[in-house]
Structure 1
Amino acid sequence: MTLQTFLADNIRYLRMQKTQLSQEKIAEAIGITRDRYSKYENGKVSLPLEVLVALSKFYHLSTDLLLTVDLRKYRLEEMVNLPDNRILLPIKTDEMGENKIEIVPFKASMGYLMSYADPDYIESLQTMSLPFLRNGKYRAFPVEGDSMPPHKDGAYIIGRYIESLNDIKIGKTYIFLTHEGITYKRLSAVQPTALEVMADNSFYKPYNILLKDLLEVWEFTSSIAVEESQQNELLLDNTTIIKMFNEIKSDLSKLTS
């Protein structure tokens, strides 16, 4: 299927299913003749950029979406907009109406980096449902390493999609998708051009994620352990106890000041 045919199918589908308007009404809304619009919808001629933009504004859909996604496969009312004019993120539900949470495979997490904006790839991921996770778009990501205890290597973090960086909060933990890969860290500071993140394991030093390299942010909502914790792993060392005591002391001082 050519790009011209793909786009023609999309605008015909939108007109008939979303607006149920005539070709004449759509043409009038975007400032062209019915005859001219009909040729675009039938795929007889290429759609000029100015008409593409006009249709994008009319339907409140990104040009990227109109050009690259088969809209007949997805319910538009169950989608969440991605920033930077990227394609939409479908929210899938099961037979009971619960959100389907896509699971990013542990062994293929780098494949997600290459295909996170491809609806067909997202459609291929296995899913699960958790009844207490509602009102948002959720996805499960694998955790690697020992930087964020008690989450062990191989555990899964379920994150809620963050649509705007204005919604992130210092002190909370997030899954960050960058050009380098997927990382789970605690947000420690927000800078004009970067986010400072840190591990809960003090062995690792804080570092910056440049905003220009940031692709997606998912806020921690819950986790799934795939291995049982050992008893000695739950014991706190003296350094940790002293740190916790000092933090409590500091908080109490703020409350009484």
Structure 2
Amino acid sequence: MGYTAIVDDAQAPPPEPPTWGEVLVRQCRQYPNFDAQVEFDIYALGLAGALLPPPEDASKSEIRAYLAKTFDAILKEHDGVIESVQEMVKEFMRKPAHITGMRPVHPDGYRMKAVPGTQYSIRMWEGSRAAAEWVFEIYDNVSNRPFWPPPGTVQVWYIPNPGRGEGYPDRHEIAAIEDVFNTSLGGRVTGKTYVLRDGDKCVVNFKEMNTSISVSAPDRQPDFVHGINGHRHYKLDF
């Protein structure tokens, strides 16, 4: 035939990411000693990161003191106009949140494959579609928790695919998100996560177990083609 129909009818744009408000509400729920209900509290506490102790250790008084200090600092930036602070927070909370490494809202958003001969699995989930990301971690099937490998015991290597005209041209080691952003993440993380893009491949080397595995990220088709949404679209096959 010489062509392949990619879009034959009007298609909807890709699903919208969650808003910052939705993301920060989830973050605040990690704090068992504090129930954030005011929008500014959700904003400031959700973005606190390593500025506070880990959620289970942060006391109500520590959180209250942090929120008061943060509010005073932001209020000063807005020339003491409370309404300006409220409007800033309101606008921010309604923006879409494109966050690398963000976990699925529902458990069925995870994909899991066992690593043969070990107690571990590779657990993968969709990252930002806008950035064509997939995120994965090593999962301990015995403890039912993400695994934090001791230094030097696990390496993840990006494997270039000559058939793809994109991506990195050379083989190189992939750093975990937690290793790159360890200062801001503080004590909150439970496992190391790695990012691939659509169709990328890597090798995970368990050095102490003399075991390595290949991991391939799914290659998603774009949900729609920018500029011609609602039109028929064809890929010419040469």
Query: TM-score, length-normalised on structure 2?
Result: 0.25
| Greater C-alpha radius of gyration | 1
Q: TM-score, normalised by structure 1?
A: 0.24
Q: Indicate the structure whose relative CO is greater, using CA pairs within 8 Å and at least 6 residues apart.
A: 2
Hey, which of these two has a bigger chunk of helix by percent? 1
